[in-house]
Structure 1
Amino acid sequence: MDKLDIDEIPGARADLLCFLVATLAASHSLTYEWRVDHLVESGRIWLARNLIRMHWLDRVLLGQLALKIAKRELKDAGIAVRQSDVQALFTGEMTLNHASTVVQKMMKLCKESL
């Protein structure tokens, strides 16, 4: 099956950004480190799961934006991810849990950042 470009799918870029932000925030709340390796692998996983391709430079730029949002803008927006919140951010299949109010707030912030 051929992969579609990320910009051919409405909302895909915002969904990937939010997934990366949630992954970074979750990882930080558990390890107290900003793990760039988790960011890179999470991006690869999301793209493969959704059968989407994205130019490597766009992935780098989106990853940098995700790190900026996770490090600075979540706190400024009043979004805190505690260890007890981590499981609620994701479904059992490790996709975003769009029913979570924290994910909804993150998605709004991500859409505004694009």
Structure 2
Amino acid sequence: MSTPLNLDLRGRAELLTYLVISQLLAKAITDEWLSPQHTVESTRLWLLKNGGGADLLQRIRLSGYALDLAKRVAESTSEVLDWDTVTTLITENLRVDFRVAMAREIYQTCLNHLVNIGWIS
């Protein structure tokens, strides 16, 4: 069975959420944002763990949006985005933990962004 090459809107929003959280985690740990190479690796890991497939254009676009959205989240949140806070957003199997309110808020930010730019199909 082959994996579809194009993620639907929800899949793109989930991947983007994971990438935003990855950016926030890198910033909390190293005080630096993820490099493009590490963002590519994070994308690859998410696709592998979630059985998703995204063509090159989708991966590039989502990776490009992640840093800007992570900065927006970091600026707009009243919570301290340290190691302890950010690590609660990802489960031990590298999936977004949607039981955490902040993870749901980041997902909604990502979903809203994709809808606002017209990337809904």
RMSD across aligned C-alpha pairs, in angstroms?
Answer: 1.6
Letter in 1 for 2:33: W
Q: Percent identity?
A: 27
Q: Are the aligned partners of 1:90 and 1:96 in contact in 2 as well (CA < 8 Å)? A: yes
Per-residue deviation, 1:76: 4.1
Which structure carries more relative contact order (alpha carbon 8 Å, separation 6+)? 2
CA distance, structure 1, for counterparts of residue 70 and residue 86 of structure 2: 14
Q: Are the aligned partners of 1:2 and 1:51 in contact in 2 as well (CA < 8 Å)? A: no
- For 2:119, the equivalent position in structure 1 comes to none
Given the superposition, is the C-alpha separation of residues 79 and 2 from structure 1 closer, same or farther in structure 2, using an over 3 Å criterion? farther
Q: Which moved more, 1:100-109 or 1:75-84?
A: 75-84
Encode CA deviations 1:2-31: one digit per residue, 9 max, x unaligned: 111333x45101000000000110111101
Gaps of 5+ in 1: none
* TM-score normalised by L of structure 2: 0.83
- For 1:27, the equivalent position in structure 2 comes to 26
CA distance, structure 1, for counterparts of residue 95 and residue 78 of structure 2: 19
Q: Which moved more, 1:73-82 or 1:23-32?
A: 73-82
* TM-score normalised by L of structure 1: 0.88
Q: Which moved more, 1:12-21 or 1:89-98?
A: 89-98
Q: Are the aligned partners of 2:88 and 2:97 in contact in 1 as well (CA < 8 Å)? A: yes
CA distance, structure 1, for counterparts of residue 97 and residue 55 of structure 2: 26
Given the superposition, is the C-alpha separation of residues 91 and 35 from structure 1 closer, same or farther in structure 2, using an over 3 Å criterion? same
CA distance, structure 2, for counterparts of residue 64 and residue 104 of structure 1: 21
- For 1:112, the equivalent position in structure 2 comes to 112
Per-residue deviation, 1:77: 3.1
